[in-house]
Amino acid sequence: EPEVTQTPSHQVTQMGQEVILRCVPISNHLYFYWYRQILGQKVEFLVSFYNNEISEKSEIFDDQFSVERPDGSNFTLKIRSTKLEDSAMYFCASSAGIGEQFFGPGTRLTVL
């Protein structure tokens, strides 16, 4: 069964450093998403991406965040200057269209 993959599974970084979280969506999917979940809290939408551009973004997705689809398979989330409060699980998801979104296993980001 096809699945969304994410790397790394755990990323530890110093405050102020840049991090790039990587995702490989399901190959025939057209819509890509990033969500995050701070420990013990709700899953929060960050951004959706379609046709090589951002479709929608939340208030969380400020100028420190960016997304890119550098090639035909990868979908990345970059945080330019990490803050302590960026520590969370980051989930990538993809969908073929309307309906089910398939989530990856997540990257646990720890900012020290």
Partner 1 sequence: LAKTTQPISMDSYEGQEVNITCSHNNIATNDYITWYQQFPSQGPRFIIQGYKTKVTNEVASLFIPADRKSSTLSLPRVSLSDTAVYYCLVGDLSGSARQLTFGSGTQLTVLP
Nearer to partner 1, 12 or 43 (CB): 43
Binding-site ranges for partner 1 (CB under 8 A) = 4, 31, 33, 35, 42-45, 48, 50, 55-56, 58, 89, 91, 93, 95, 98-106, 108
- Count of helix runs (H) and strand runs (E) in the chain: 0, 11
- Rounded CA gap, 3 and 75, in Å? 14
- Of 4 and 111, nearer to partner 1 (C-beta) is 4
Q: Are 106 and 7 in contact (CB under 8 A)?
A: no
How far apart are CB 68 and partner 1 at their closest, in Å? 19
Residue 77's CB is within 10 A of a number of other CB atoms, namely: 25
Instruction: Report the C-alpha gap between 61 and 79 in whole angstroms.
Output: 10
CB of 54 to partner 1, least distance (A): 11
Closest distance to partner 1 from the beta carbon of 103 (Å): 3
